[in-house]
Amino acid sequence: MPRSRDRPLNTAQTYQHLIQVAEKLSITVTEQNLRQSGFAIKSGLCKIGPDQLYVVDKQLPLKRKIDLLADCLAAFDLERVYLVPAVRELLVVCRKRRELFRNQRQRGYRRKQAHNMTIDRSKGGGSALNGVQNK
């Protein structure tokens, strides 16, 4: 029989562990009904003075809350923080997803830059990239 620490966590346990990780990083996690604010506010990390606060929309499904909080925590250095194995695995996956997304955005930005680069031979026969004429 597997030891209790080796058993997979249910979603409520995972969420509680993520909140504990956030607290170890000095991030306060609070759930608020963001739909009552009258503004288009999303869950996320905010800094209020020296304090960090992660606001979670209370109306979101638990799995979505886990995804959002895990994605936020994956951006932090967690080497010195104890994580239960299931949470560590989740955060590793989130970190890899963040890196992949960042790389895709950078490639898209480079592609867009390359697309926007034009050769302008009408100005003195030289070429110009991004509107700057070569001399």
pTM of the model: 0.69
Is 8 inside a domain boundary? yes
Secondary structure element (H or E) that encloses residue 87, with its range: helix 85-116
Is 44 inside a domain boundary? yes
Write out the residue range of the structural domain in which residue 95 sits.
4-116
Question: How many domains is the chain built from?
Answer: 1
- Residue 53 burial (C-beta neighbours within 10 Å; 0-12, 13-18, 19+): middle
pLDDT one digit per residue (tens) for the chain, 135 residues: 344 455 677 989 999 999 999 999 999 999 998 888 777 788 999 999 999 999 999 999 999 999 999 999 999 999 999 999 999 999 999 999 888 888 887 777 665 555 555 444 444 444 343 433 444
Is 23 inside a domain boundary? yes
Is 76 inside a domain boundary? yes
Is 134 inside a domain boundary? no
Residues contacting 28, CB < 8 A, separation 6+: 22, 51, 52, 53, 54
